[in-house]
Amino acid sequence: MGNAVIRLVLADAGLSLVAAVAEPGAKSRGSDAGELAGVARCGLPVTVLVAEAIAAKPKVAIDFTTPAASVLNVAALASAGIPCVVGTTGFSDAQRARLRGASSKVAVLLAPNMSAGANTLFELVQRAVELLGPGYDCEIVETHHSGKKDAPSGTALRLAEVVQASRGGRSTPVQMHSLRMGDVVGEHRVSFAGTGEWIELTHRALSRDAFARGALRAARFVAGARSGFYTMRDAMKA
């Protein structure tokens, strides 16, 4: 995801890349960020120190890391007054609370999926539950590449939350199934089955650029937003 974000930033005349941070011990340390992302050399070396990124005075930071790293990164960035976009998934309730705490200082946007299509799926699922009523079973199937660590995906968990909330908090379970196969970027299928009919809503990500474009859309939003805790829906409706 970092490479996808870098590629799109470097291709956008309205944006500037001022820092690129890799995990401590990464072999990419010192490499040119542009070359690492598969495009032309940009003259910006990759660092493993968030403090160096903060020293570059970015207007906004985008974090796709791990839950533990995201919590620390956002805390440091918020203390420096830098708004944050977080696309990391797999947070515990306690970690999510720490991110929300940082939003008292700066704008923090957290989204399990940043693509416009997936966030449209959330809206469609909500509407489907409202229109279908209580007589329909719902199951969610998500498929990702074999290297994805969290299961169910953050997007699947969010879809289940949407279904439950749209049902008025009724405890009817939403079954989730996770497949980890090959190099699948991401697919989410939400199925509703009632007597004599079956409805299915599906989102397929064909490239990580879909998530990166959403992250840049979110970055533009939080760069001008007041401190607070935001979702991708806020950015898309702005």
Q: pLDDT tens, 106-135? A: 999 999 999 999 999 999 999 999 999 988
Q: In the chain, which segments carry CATH 3.40.50.720?
A: 2-110+209-237
Reported as a single tens digit per residue, the pLDDT across 5-58 is: 999 999 999 999 999 999 998 999 999 999 999 999 999 999 999 999 999 999
Class of domain 116-205: alpha beta
pTM, entire model: 0.89
Active site (annotated) includes residue 188 = no
CA distance 75 to 70: 8
Reported as a single tens digit per residue, the pLDDT across 184-209 is: 999 999 999 999 999 999 999 999 99
Q: In the chain, which segments carry CATH 3.30.360.10?
A: 116-205
CA distance 17 to 35: 13
Active site (annotated) includes residue 148 = yes
170 — pLDDT class (breaks 50, 70, 90): low
Q: Are 223 and 83 in contact (CB under 8 A)?
A: yes
Q: Which of 105, 144, 177, 237 is catalytic?
A: 144
Domain 2-110+209-237, second-level architecture:
3-Layer(aba) Sandwich (3.40)
Reported as a single tens digit per residue, the pLDDT across 55-88 is: 999 999 999 999 999 999 999 999 999 999 999 9
Q: Which of 105, 148, 177, 188 is catalytic?
A: 148
